[in-house]
Amino acid sequence: MTELVFLTGKAKPEAPGPAPAGRALRSGFSTGTAAAAAAQGALYELLGLPCPAKVEVALPGGGSLSIPLARHRQSGSRGEAVVVKDAGDDPDVTHGAEIGVRLGWASGPGTGELLEMVGGPGVGRVTKPGLPVAVGEPAINPVPRRMLRQAVTGVWERHGNGRPLRLRLEVFVPRGEELARHTLNPRLGIVGGISILGTTGLVRPYSHAAWRATIVTALKVARAQGWRQVVLTTGGRSEAALRGLLPELPPECFVLMGDYVRFSLRAAAQLGFRQVTVAAFFGKAVKMAQGFGQTHASRGLIDFAVLGRWVEGATGDPSLARGAAWANTARQVLEMLPPKAREAVTAEVGRRLLARLQGYAGPGVHLKAMILDFDGRLQWRGEG
């Protein structure tokens, strides 16, 4: 058996701390990116090829990152590699965690292409509905799954000698079960470890001051262009959906507020905006309707008992209300509602959402709101 080979001077980066005054916060990379890099190293080892010290990982939104491999080896008929997760200056619980991949030959039926993706030790398993991954599956989210496939396919196309790709890919996380206790995974029904996450492949440092300053700057740019209306969105996906729904507005009218709902509305009012549209996916909309002026997960979770009462009031159906009250996620609630009930419930959430938002913005701002489903489709729109 070949021993593990260390390729970096430190097996674990230092924990992130406050950035020195005047220094920009450093971005990092997600657990999904770490796994994709480890998958490439593992495949080099499986094929008996020289393994590079760093590998290039393509990012979902374009571009790539060069990721160092902490260690790698060939063990019998399997290749293995480990990457140390670097969250940059973000206070991420997985900063410094080892994310590994073991690759072997798939034994499934047939002779065509086959990539079996499984969760090893330290990777959580989904036990409740309402998450992007089905019950019983390893908690490897859809975008990281695509990144893993792309990572091994890229190496295979160069070195597979034209054979069909038939691999068994196991993601593992040493200490993953311990790390998961410091996340929301236990409450979400993800057991046995952490989730492999990431929609962009990057980890943006979470700085309250930097976020707020960026929001104000974006609002000032829109006002400087003479605009009196602005669209506040919670993320890139909701912004993309709203640009499609409001094509008449220029890019500077769309401001990414993130979790800073109360702050953004008050800033917009102070800067003289007379019309503000707030757009959010259903889960964030419920949090806003329940009074979360700051919707980050660290500030609390949806009260599903309250949501259950709203469902019963909107639909008159006690069974739907019980299902909502016992739900695991807002996605689960939305997906279990029949079309007519979904329409009634999103309208009820929207009505309460607008009332909360108006309280933040004050009487001088005309408010509109839009609620999207988790595929970005418009579910409800209204105005105060």
Per residue in 25-68, pLDDT (tens digit) is 788 999 999 999 999 999 999 999 999 999 999 999 899 999 99
Helix (H, G, I), strand (E, B) or coil at 365: coil
What average pLDDT score do residues 201-218 get? Answer: 80
Same domain, 141 and 30: yes
pLDDT of res. 243: 94
Residues facing 168 on adjacent strands:
104, 116
Same domain, 187 and 241: no
Q: Per-residue confidence at 21, pLDDT binned at 50, 70, 90?
A: very low
Distances (CA, A) of 40 to 66, 114, 376: 12, 17, 32
Question: Per mean pLDDT, which range of 102-111, 168-177, 179-188 is the poorest?
Answer: 179-188
| Site of tokens 């900063």 | 95
Question: In the numeric block, which tokens belong to residue 29?
Answer: 């990379």
3-state helix, strand, coil in the chain (%, to 5): 40, 25, 40
What average pLDDT score do residues 347-366 get? Answer: 97
Question: In the numeric block, which tokens belong to residue 230?
Answer: 């602005």
Same domain, 228 and 195: no
Question: Per mean pLDDT, which range of 16-30, 139-153, 303-317, 345-359 is the poorest?
Answer: 16-30
CATH of the domain at 139: 3.30.2110.10
Same domain, 216 and 199: no
Percent of the chain with pLDDT over 70: 93
How remote is the C-alpha of 34 from its chain's centroid?
A: 15
Residue 61 lies in domain: 5-203
How many domains would you assign to the chain? 2
pLDDT of res. 15: 38
Question: Per mean pLDDT, which range of 1-5, 19-23, 133-137, 318-322 is the poorest?
Answer: 1-5
For the beta sheet containing 378-383, the strands, ordered from the edge strand earlier in sequence to the opposite edge, are 254-256, 229-233, 275-281, 366-372, 378-383
Helix (H, G, I), strand (E, B) or coil at 64: strand
Residue at a domain's end among 149, 173, 203: 203
Residue 147 predicted with pLDDT over 60: yes
Of the candidates 262, 199, 264, which has an alpha carbon nearest to the alpha carbon of residue 254? 264
Same domain, 297 and 197: no
First and final C-alpha spacing in the chain:
69
Residue at a domain's end among 173, 203, 233: 203
Q: Per-residue confidence at 8, pLDDT binned at 50, 70, 90?
A: very low
Same domain, 345 and 258: yes
CA distance 301 to 185: 13
Q: Per-residue confidence at 23, pLDDT binned at 50, 70, 90?
A: low
What average pLDDT score do residues 194-207 get? Answer: 85
Same domain, 216 and 181: no
Q: What's this model's pTM, rounded to 2 decimal places?
A: 0.71
Residue at a domain's end among 162, 177, 203: 203
Same domain, 167 and 299: no
